[in-house]
Amino acid sequence: MTHTLRTSRQRAFTLVELLVVIGIIVVIATAMLPAFGRIISSQNFATAVNSVTTTLGNARAVALSSQLPSAVSFHYDLETGTYSLETLQQYSSQATLTDPFSQTLDPDIEFYALSFRPAIGSVAVDLPSGTGVFGLSFQHERGTTESGAVRDRQRLDQKHGRGTSQWYAGEVVNGSEADSDDWIIPWVFPRSDPRMFTASNGQDFGLDPWDELTGLETDLTSTEAQEAVRHANSFAVIFGADGRARSTMSVGGREYRNFYIELPEEPYQDNLDDGDPNFRVPYDNDLQFDPDVISPSGREDGRRNEEIMLRAVDQLAVVDLAQLQEGVGVRRPWLARYNGGSPASNNYAPVPDWARDQGLISDSDGQLVRNTSRWIDRNAEIIGFNRYTGNVIRRSAR
């Protein structure tokens, strides 16, 4: 019997066939990229909404359990594009925004404030990349005349070395024409980063005023640095001890609409006290808004006193920043601010060239601010609060 030995040969891919398959995969992957991007963006947006509502709920629980007002403040870092939320708790109802003796000069100028500190055990919550939160408040200063409250306040503060602008002062925008009485209250974005108010260093944000204040050589003057840190402000959702969201806060017979973050003090060694080598004193006034105060020269870390002025907002809007940018047609429109050309509407905050060069300052008509606010009205996830309970009420993005 003869056995026949058979060999089998398996056909392989040729180089041309392999390249064709790879090309098909590349084409399919390229076509799918926008879909993947939309999925990631949608997931980030949903995560941001959940993070905001959860943080609000936690802050409300802090108010109910402590029987003291609490808050959630909103912050933005220009350099990293990081958006964060912080839970706060009332520290003092006897704080001031300026030196108390200013009231004796003009009793109509508000200077009392309710101060908050970070709630015990709380940590800042970072939102996913590409998402942010705007606030809508009815506590804007309109700044109606050359000698109106906004200008009087700034003039008085500067006279005593405390150049503090009102909160988002004078940024209520004319509805259509410059002389129109139809005013639009804009959605505002956090201006917690003082580099928004300083000169450009060739980047998309200004020089760090804290470099100047802590002794490093910069192109800023000391006055410019002080103004920048004192103009940094943001907004917050304020909860009363009963858990209800408030636009203003009545404490001890006084009605507050100004709030600020008072950072916990770090005492420093007083070398002049020979009687007690362990004696330590604070370096800032814990009952006054004084963000321009720095630690004494003996401190090596040059600690920043990054206090931020706040006012309460009535509604929040969670926004996909990329969609907002595309919808309005301007790069980073969330940084736009109305800076009308006349004293009647000027916000008195420093206007750096880097922001003007990007078209982020709507000098005369506020059109960019109006367009941004209208887009938010139509497309953002709006968060409000039940007036009786303080519970969150959501209106989904359309």
Per-residue pLDDT tens digits for 109-149: 567 889 999 999 889 999 999 999 999 998 776 654 443 44
Q: What per-residue confidence (pLDDT) applies to 345? A: 45
Q: What per-residue confidence (pLDDT) applies to 303? A: 66
Angle formed by the axes of helices 321-328 and 367-379, to 10°?
130
Structural domain for 28, as ranges: 17-395
Residue predicted with more confidence, 269 or 71? 71
Q: Is residue 7 part of a domain?
A: no
Q: How far apart are CA 179 and CA 225, in angstroms?
A: 35
pLDDT (tens digit per residue) in 192-215: 999 999 988 888 899 999 888 877
Average pLDDT of the segment spanning 295-322: 81
Q: How far apart are CA 198 and CA 125, in angstroms?
A: 27
Average pLDDT, the chain: 79
Q: Is residue 8 part of a domain?
A: no
Q: Is residue 292 part of a domain?
A: yes
Angle at the Cα of 67 from the Cα atoms of 62 and 69, rounded to 5 degrees = 65
Say if residue 105's pLDDT is above 60: no
**pLDDT-derived band of residue 239, with 50, 70 and 90 as boundaries?**
very high
Say if residue 218's pLDDT is above 80: yes
Q: How far apart are CA 209 and CA 250, in angstroms?
A: 35
| Alpha helices (runs of H) in the chain, residue ranges in sequence order | 15-66, 102-105, 149-159, 209-213, 222-231, 321-328, 353-357, 367-379
Number of domains comprising the chain: 1
Residue predicted with more confidence, 229 or 303? 229
Residue predicted with more confidence, 333 or 150? 333
Q: Is residue 206 part of a domain?
A: yes
Alpha-carbon distances of 145 from 107, 150, 191, rounded to whole Å: 19, 9, 25
Tokens of 270: 């007083």
Mean pLDDT is lowest, of 92-106, 301-315, 328-342, for: 92-106
Beta bridge partners of 70: 89, 239
Q: Is residue 280 part of a domain?
A: yes
Closest listed residue to residue 117, CA positions, set 285, 265, 319: 265
**Most confident of the ranges 69-78, 139-148, 265-274, 379-388:** 69-78
Phi then psi for residue 309, to 5 deg, are -75, 140
**pLDDT-derived band of residue 267, with 50, 70 and 90 as boundaries?**
low
Q: How far apart are CA 30 and CA 201, in angstroms?
A: 38
Alpha-carbon distances of 164 from 155, 231, 238, rounded to whole Å: 9, 6, 22
Q: How far apart are CA 243 and CA 59, in angstroms?
A: 9
Is residue 60 within 8 A of residue 239, CB to CB? The reply is: yes
Q: How far apart are CA 45 and CA 101, in angstroms?
A: 47
Residue predicted with more confidence, 20 or 309? 309
Closest listed residue to residue 265, CA positions, set 160, 115, 126, 165: 115
Q: How far apart are CA 92 and CA 97, in angstroms?
A: 12
pTM over 0.85: no
pLDDT (tens digit per residue) in 355-373: 888 878 776 677 888 899 9
Q: What per-residue confidence (pLDDT) applies to 188? A: 93
Q: Is residue 263 part of a domain?
A: yes
**pLDDT-derived band of residue 26, with 50, 70 and 90 as boundaries?**
confident
Q: Is residue 5 part of a domain?
A: no
